[in-house]
């Protein structure tokens, strides 16, 4: 029996494949199962990628990332995230997914416990299991807006707990952990000498005046924190596969360097040159325009769900997912399949955890283009009108 035998192939991947097959067979498909931004990368990023190729930046590079990118990101992390790190504290990874893989491989031993939110984007949890950890879920409830609360985390701490994992803004709920709660979680980790792995992939996708705070900025002297970031969402660079993590913990960085060397031995150099310019040259308005478009899509979905009681949406404060409670008595798996059969992509809550909240919910993503949302939302309204 291998650890891999306990890891799923990804329910969302299975749903996506079915939808893509139906699309190939001529059915109209609405890609609400997937969190891939519809936007093109910024023209400045394209230019820098072209230039890197022209300048033959195609040779081996340091396995923790090219120095110019780590310097750029150190400036970004200090200025935007208020995390006091140096370039040596940063490593570039093949997306945030790979950063999470590296984190857990470097931190946990067989049998350690990792506290995670439930619901949670599956791969964040499975990467902890892949490293041999047992994940312990904290149920997030609609009654308190799906906030990951320090008091609930504390109740799950045992002598085996090694890590508190958090993800704010969150996938799948779109909730943000309020600053007061974030401080309590930080204090809890320090008091119990626990690691914090903070997945901040959605740091820039914020609505209604919502703000993002990095937990590492609240406890700058505590070094058992790893902050994880992705270029996929902030810069719509999902296919270029760039992510990174930052930590001031020497042992962690030492282990990570060895793991990166023995596995990927450096991330695509061309993407890294593009990544420098994504951070340096992306005008503020770009984020604002993307967020305004996401907000429009969110509100189209909310409008489409008015006047029915099958799906009760939480109004997300961030990210691009609409997390809905499914009316009691309705079988969510069956509902998910019926929506998919109508071409309406979705991810049933069981993809995100075992809690009652997860099992009685469904996620609709609004990262696909606005035209698809307009048409798909109309189809969704029709579907739900007569749903029994």
User: Which residues face 365 on adjacent strands?
Assistant: 321
| Ramachandran angles phi, psi of 313, nearest 5° | -80, 150
What is the closest distance, in whole angstroms, from the C-beta atom of residue 94 to ligand PLP in the complex?
Answer: 7
Q: Which is nearer to ligand PLP, 113 or 126 (CB)?
A: 126
Tell me whether residue 106 or residue 228 sits nearer to ligand PLP (CB atom).
228
CB of 193 to ligand PLP, least distance (A): 25
**Which of residues 226 and 304 has its CB atom nearest to ligand PLP in the complex?**
226
Q: How far is the CB of 235 from ligand PLP (least distance, A)?
A: 10
- Report cis status (omega within 30 of 0) of the bond before 39: no
Smallest distance from ligand PLP to CB 106, Å? 17
Nearer to ligand PLP, 20 or 155 (CB): 20
Q: Which is nearer to ligand PLP, 49 or 197 (CB)?
A: 197
Dihedral sign (CA 34, 35, 39, 43):
negative
Closest CA to 207 of 312, 97, 318, 106: 318
Q: How far is the CB of 249 from ligand PLP (least distance, A)?
A: 21
> What are the CA-CA distances from residue 27 to residues 24, 209, 338, 380, 383 (Å)?
7, 39, 14, 16, 16
Question: Which ranges constitute the DSSP H helices of the chain?
Answer: 11-24, 43-54, 67-79, 95-107, 122-130, 150-154, 179-191, 231-234, 250-262, 269-281, 284-304, 332-341, 356-359, 370-385
Instruction: Rank residues 145 and 187 by Cβ distance to ligand PLP and give the closer one.
Output: 145
* Residue with smaller CB distance to ligand PLP, 87 or 169: 169
The C-alpha angle 366, 368, 374, rounded to 5 degrees, equals 75
Angular region, 83: left φ>0, alpha ψ -120 to 50, beta rest: beta
Q: How far is the CB of 231 from ligand PLP (least distance, A)?
A: 6
Residue 36 CB, shortest distance to ligand PLP, in Å, is 8
Residues that bind ligand PLP (CB under 6 A): 35, 95-97, 121, 124, 167, 171, 199, 201, 230, 232, 238, 243
Strand partners, 163: 114, 195
DSSP tag of 80 = T
Closer residue to ligand PLP, CB minimum distance, 87 or 95: 95
The torsion of the CA quartet 233, 148, 351, 115, rounded to 10 degrees, works out to 110
CB of 321 to ligand PLP, least distance (A): 9
In whole angstroms, the minimum distance from the beta carbon of 45 to ligand PLP comes to 15
Q: Which C-beta is closer to ligand PLP: that of 232 or that of 357?
A: 232
The three-state DSSP-derived secondary structure of 234-275 is HCCCHHHCCEEEECCCHHHHHHHHHHHHHCCCCCCHHHHHHH
d(CA 25, CA 22): 5
C-beta of residue 358 within 8 angstroms of C-beta of residue 372 = no
Cis previous bond, 169, omega within 30: yes
Give the CB-nearest residue to ligand PLP.
95
Pick between residue 95 and residue 343 the one whose CB is nearest to ligand PLP. Answer: 95
Question: 372: alpha, beta or left, given left = phi > 0 and alpha = psi -120 to 50?
Answer: alpha
Write down the least CB distance from residue 320 to ligand PLP, Å: 10
Bridge partners, residue 324, by sequence: 313, 362
């Amino acid at each position: 029996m291998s650890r891999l035998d306990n890891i799923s192939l990804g329910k969302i991947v299975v749903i996506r494949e079915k939808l893509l097959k139906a699309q190939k067979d001529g059915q109209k498909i609405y890609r609400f199962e997937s969190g891939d931004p519809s936007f093109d990368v910024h023209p400045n990023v394209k230019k820098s990628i072209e230039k890197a190729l022209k300048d033959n930046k195609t040779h081996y590079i340091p396995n923790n990332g090219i120095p110019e990118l780590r310097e750029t990101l150190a400036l970004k992390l200090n200025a935007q995230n208020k995390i006091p790190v140096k370039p040596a504290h940063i490593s570039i990874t093949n997306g945030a997914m790979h950063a999470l893989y590296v984190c857990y491989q470097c931190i946990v031993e067989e049998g350690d416990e990792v506290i995670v939110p439930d619901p949670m984007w599956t791969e964040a949890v499975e990467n902890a299991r892949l490293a041999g950890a047992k994940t312990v879920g904290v149920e997030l409830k609609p009654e308190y807006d799906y906030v990951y609360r320090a008091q609930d985390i504390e109740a799950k701490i045992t002598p085996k707990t090694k890590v508190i994992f958090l993800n704010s803004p969150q996938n799948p709920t779109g909730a943000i952990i309020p600053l007061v709660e974030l401080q309590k979680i930080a204090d809890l980790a320090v008091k119990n000498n626990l690691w914090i792995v903070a997945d901040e992939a959605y740091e820039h996708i914020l609505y209604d005046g919502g703000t993002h705070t990095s937990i590492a900025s609240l406890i700058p002297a505590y070094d058992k924190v790893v902050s994880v970031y992705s270029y996929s969402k902030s810069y719509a660079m999902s296919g270029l596969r760039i992510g990174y993590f930052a930590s001031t913990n020497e042992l962690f960085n030492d282990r990570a360097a060895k793991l990166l060397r023995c596995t990927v031995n450096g991330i695509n150099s061309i993407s890294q040159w593009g990544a420098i310019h994504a951070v340096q040259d992306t005008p503020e308005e770009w984020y604002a325009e993307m967020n305004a478009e996401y907000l429009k899509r969110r509100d189209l979905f909310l409008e489409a769900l008015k006047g029915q009681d099958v799906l009760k949406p939480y109004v997300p404060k961030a990210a691009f997912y609409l997390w809905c409670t499914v009316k009691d008595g309705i079988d969510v798996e069956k509902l998910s399949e019926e929506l998919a059969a109508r071409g309406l992509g979705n991810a049933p809550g069981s993809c995100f955890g075992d809690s009652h909240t997860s099992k009685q919910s469904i996620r609709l993503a609004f990262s696909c283009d606005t035209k698809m949302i307009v048409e798909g939302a109309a189809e969704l309204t029709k579907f739900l009108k007569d749903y029994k």
